[in-house]
Every structure is written in C-alpha cells, then in structure tokens.
Amino acid sequence: MKTLTVDLGERSYPIHIGHGILPLLPEKLAECGIGSPTPLLVITDSAVAPHYLKPVEELLRGAGYPVTTSVIPSGEASKSLEMLDELVKVALEAGLDRKSVIIALGGGVVGDLAGFVAASYMRGIRFVQVPTTILAHDSSVGGKVAVNHKLAKNIIGAFHQPEMVFYALEMLRTLPPREVRSGLAEVAKHGLIWDAAFVEWCESNADKLLALDPEALEYALYTGCSVKAQVVGQDERENGLRAILNLGHTIGHALEAVSRYELLHGEAISIGMVGSAKLAVRFGRDPVIYETTKRLLRKLELPVAVPSHIDTSEVMRTMMYDKKFKDGRTVFVLPEAIGRVEIVRDVPVAWVEEVVEELK
C-alpha cells in the first residue's frame, strides 16, 4: 500500500492506494479520527452494491460501527436534487448527527453526490471517499462535490474535502471495459498537464493499463492522484492553478450534455483534449502537441473525433452555460507543450466552433 497526502495548509488528508487493501479500511478510518462506534452511512450504486456492499458492510459492522446503507441507481442521472432529497431522508431516518460520517463507495457519480450530501447535511458532516472506478482517482481527490441541473452539469455544488481517500484497487476488476477506457482519459490528462515523462510511460504501457495489469495500474493511479493532490494543495478553491485540471473539459462537458450523456465523461474529455491541442496549434504551438495527444488517447482506445450526428451549434450553445463568452472571446486551458498547459484568455469563439466542426 502507498500513501499520499493532500496538504491544504490548515489541514491535510491521506490517499491510501493499493491492491488487496480493503480489509484495512476500519483501521485507516480509526487513524483519521473516525473510530468505532461512529455511525456510518454507506452510499453506493446499483452496479457496485452486488459486488462490494456486503463485504464492506460486514467489515465495518465487524469493527463495531453502526452502519446504514443506501443504494442509488447507477448512472449520471442520480447526480440530482431529487436524489439529494432522498438521501437526506435516509440520513434523517437513520438518525445521523453532526458526528456521523458518510462513506462514498463507488465511482465519480456516487462520490460527487454523497460528497454533496455530506457538504449540505446539517451544514456539513465528514465523509470518506472509497473510489471504485479508474476515473474516480480524479473525482475522489480535491473536494469538489456536486449534483447536476438539467441546464448544466455540476452547477449545484460545494468544496468539501473528504477525511480520507481509500483506493482499494482490487475493486476495479469488475469495471466494464468501456469504463476502464473512460477513466484512463483522466489519467492521460494528469500527464498532459503536468508530466511529459508520464505521458510517454502511459503510451508505452497502454496495453497493460487496458488489461488492468495490477502493477501498471497502481503506478498510473498513484501518479495521477499525486498530480491532482499537488495541484489541489496549491489551489484548493480554484482561484488560479487548479483551473489547469479543466483541460479538455469545456468542449468535453458540452459534448457530454449534447450527447445526452451517451458519451461517458472520459470519452467526452478525450475529444475535448484533442480539441484543445488543435486550438493550441492555431495559436502557434508545435503541431507535435496535437499529434502526441491524439496518439496517446488512441492507444488508450478513446474517441478522438466528435460523433458526426452531434450538432456543432448545439455544442456551442451548451458551452455558453459553462463558460463566459464575452465579445466573441473565451478562456481556455491549452497545452503549451506536452506536460505543460497555459490559461489563454482571448480564444476567439469562432475558432472553437471551427475546431469542433473539424473534429467530426
């Protein structure tokens, strides 16, 4: 098991990561001040529950914790105010108080939703992330929690840091292959924004990653989490540096929404990252950036083109909810080299539209 620390200055929290570590969960909870008999509410989803809810529940009960469980429907649609309402009811009926703790057992959907319940219930209670997807190496670290509104994704949310991230990689074995690929897009992103050597490593080890080779996976997720932890440690509330984590997300979020979530998050940001690289080249950056980005994402079997049935003008309209378009210009995170990005403030909206169209 490896441990990283997210250092936020006034406080910090650990990320434990490794294969076969699930039995250590009660011990690690106690180490971060959540000893038994703290009441726990375990929130998970309908695809994760059949595999892992019982073992987790037994483990926690065995260690003396009173445990309530709640299983939400799997999928992005659960990141909603209706589901928040439902979980608040569960929490109230279970008698959760301000000392209770929520355990988010699942991917980014469970993590974002359960984290937002924790952020808002009784003005904020503690929570722990137990990620079960590759993508959640990103979403579980950094404290951004949210639900969606029908007009915009992640628009109702908070910054609420977990007490711990506990990443037992043995739980990734049951992930559907498409979810594996989607998660690898955020791994690639962490390389593209921060670490050129890691980009090279990902490209050389793409086959191993796709096959969930334990050693390769642990290295990739450890490296990805450590990039995220460093960025968040320097800028917890996105006043500056943290914005670089949004590489590929302006176009990506719009594609996700316009496809009615047929495109998975990672698939959409994969296309978005290729779009950002294309934009960077228009700003005079080396075309190698575009070629390398595209080659890496292709190796990870991710889409690099906008599906032809998607309407570019709808993508542009949707993007306007996400970004401020002022005087025909907007802000974008663009690569300036592989492993380095910059925030560009005067990107012509017309160029973005042309790039989306060219990507078809």
Task: Tell me the closest approach of the beta carbon of residue 201 to ligand NAD, in angstroms.
Answer: 22
133 labelled ligand-binding: yes
Binding mask 145-164 for ligand NAD (x = CB under 6 A): ---------x----------
Q: Is 318 in the site for ligand NAD (CB under 6 A)?
A: no
Task: Say which amino acid occupies 56.
Answer: V
Considering the rule CB under 6 A, would residue 74 count as an interface residue with ligand NAD?
yes
Residues 105-144 that bind ligand NAD (CB under 6 A): 106-110, 112, 132-133, 135-136, 138-139, 142, 144
Closest approach of ligand NAD to the CB of residue 144, in Å: 4
Nearer to ligand NAD, 200 or 301 (CB): 301
Sites for ligand NAD among residues 169-208 (CB under 6 A): 171-172, 174-175, 179, 182
Determine if residue 356 is labeled as part of a ligand binding site.
no
CB of 286 to ligand NAD, least distance (A): 28
Residue nearest to ligand NAD (CB): 108
List active site positions: 123, 144, 186, 228, 238, 242, 246, 249, 253, 265
Q: Residues 78-107 vs ligand NAD: string with x where CB under 6 A?
A: -x--------------------------xx
Q: Tell me how many residues contact ligand NAD (CB under 6 A).
A: 30
Is 153 one of the annotated binding-site residues? yes
- The CA distance from 170 to 47, in Å, is 16
78 annotated to bind ligand:
yes
Q: Which is nearer to ligand NAD, 265 or 278 (CB)?
A: 265
Tell me: does residue 312 bind ligand NAD (CB under 6 A): no
Q: Based on the shown chain and the rule CB under 6 A, indicate whether residue 322 belongs to the binding site for ligand NAD.
A: no
Give the binding range for ligand NAD (CB under 6 A) out of 43-51, 231-239, 327-335, 351-359. 43-51
Return d(Cα 268, Cα 13) in angstroms, integer. Answer: 30
CA torsion angle for 219, 275, 342, 235 (degrees, to 10)? -60
Q: What is the 3-state secondary structure (H, E, C) of the chain?
A: CEEEEEECCCCEEEEEEECCCHHHHHHHHHHCCCCCCCCEEEEEECCCHHHHHHHHHHHHHHCCCCEEEEEECCCHHHCCHHHHHHHHHHHHHCCCCCCCEEEEEECHHHHHHHHHHHHHHHHCCEEEEEECCCCHHHHCCCCEEEEEECCEEEEEEEECCCCEEEEEHHHHHHCCHHHHHHHHHHHHHHHHHHCHHHHHHHHHCHHHHHCCCHHHHHHHHHHHHHHHHHHHHHCCCCCCHHHHHHCCHHHHHHHHHHCCCCCCHHHHHHHHHHHHHHHHHHCCCCHHHHHHHHHHHHHCCCCCCCCCCCCHHHHHHHHHHHCCCECCEEEEEEEEECCEEEEEEEEEHHHHHHHHHHCC
Told to check if 76 binds ligand NAD by CB under 6 A, we report: yes
Sequence ranges of the binding site: 74-79, 108-112, 132-133, 144, 153, 186, 249, 265
For ligand NAD, the binding residues (CB under 6 A) are 45, 47-48, 51, 74-76, 79, 106-110, 112, 132-133, 135-136, 138-139, 142, 144, 154, 171-172, 174-175, 179, 182, 265
Sequence ranges of the binding site for Zn(2+): 186, 249, 265
